[in-house]
Amino acid sequence: MPLQDDFDAFYFIPDLHAITVPQEPKELRRRTKVAAAQLLALGIDPDRSTLFVQSQVPEHAQLAWVLNCITGFGEASRMTQFKDKSAKQGTESATVGLFTYPVLMAADILLYRPQRVPVGEDQRQHLEMARDLAQRFNTRFGKAFVIPEAQMIKGTSKIYDLQDPTSKMSKSAASAAGLINLLDDPKVSAKKIKSAVTDNEREIRFDRENKPGVSNLLTIQSALSGTSVEDLEKGYEGKGYGDLKSDTAEVLVEFVTPLRAKVDAYMADPAELDRILDAGALRAREVSERTLATVYDKVGFLKYKG
């Protein structure tokens, strides 16, 4: 969230990406609004940044089609996220939408001509693809895009499954016991933290390779408390895993309790939530329309005269 203090920041709820796997329409609408409420509760200020729903800005899908047409099949096939998800779903059941997911992500980025894009390590490959497509388009048709630089999110950019700390925490995990939902009952989430997998040693230190479970708990506590992992390590000298789990659970409860109250307040005022999202979509379209118009002109599409 600090990025909104220094940049003209754009945030969106990626509902177009969501439908690359089956979604129940009523539930998708509910989750979209909950996601918006969460982002606002976490500190996004609609007066200082732009918050919108992806599907309400059609330029995302329109630019994605143009970028699809300059993306090689082999290039898209090498995206690790598609390989991982299609392996879980089965290649025959994986959708073309899932296959072209990174191209839509490239459109999401390039529409707003950003200089910097905050990205975790697991998304670096997708940003590299966006950079490649921007450069390819600019070379082939003339400059339309800025080549964005990665602003790497360090430390807390990746949270791992509590029951399998070698895998990223995900809603598609085999067991719900490994997943923390910030809107769940805090007591339920605290219990999951206290049941998190660690190891057979006792020393509390950050070591992603040899102590993934302990490292994950330190990362979670650091993200929620604002205390560096290094300072947390010093504070746990001579203490055991029970202390680490209890403290992390306590910090989690302290973080989510006011957050849930703020989310509930936004959800209780749907008209205000809609107003914020509508204003965000209008602002996003003002920017994205200009980019798309440039792209269409460069490609050779006829300009609409109506």
Q: How far apart are CA 99 and CA 273, in angstroms?
A: 32
Bridge partner list, 50: 10
Cα dihedral value 158, 164, 167, 170, nearest 10: -70
- In terms of C-beta density within 10 A (0-12 exposed, 13-18 middle, 19 or more buried), how is residue 196 classed? buried
Alpha helices in 226-269 (DSSP H): 229-235, 241-267
83 is catalytic: no
**What tokens appear for 240 in the block?**
């055991």
Q: Which residue among 26, 154, 171, 305 is the active-site one?
A: 171
108 closest CA partner among 6, 13, 1, 2: 13
> Degrees (nearest 5) of the Cα angle 158, 185, 161?
25
Q: Is 74 in contact with 94 (CB distance < 8 Å)?
A: no
Q: How many residues does the chain have?
A: 306
Instruction: Choose, from 26, 33, 83, 85, the residue flagged as catalytic.
Output: 85
Q: Which residues pair with 150 in a beta bridge?
A: 117
The Cα 100–Cα 133 span in angstroms is: 13
H/E element, 151: strand 149-152
Question: Among residues 158, 168, 262, 298, which one is catalytic?
Answer: 168
Does 192 qualify as catalytic in the annotation? no
Q: Is 303 a catalytic residue?
A: no
Q: Catalytic positions, please?
A: 85, 168, 171
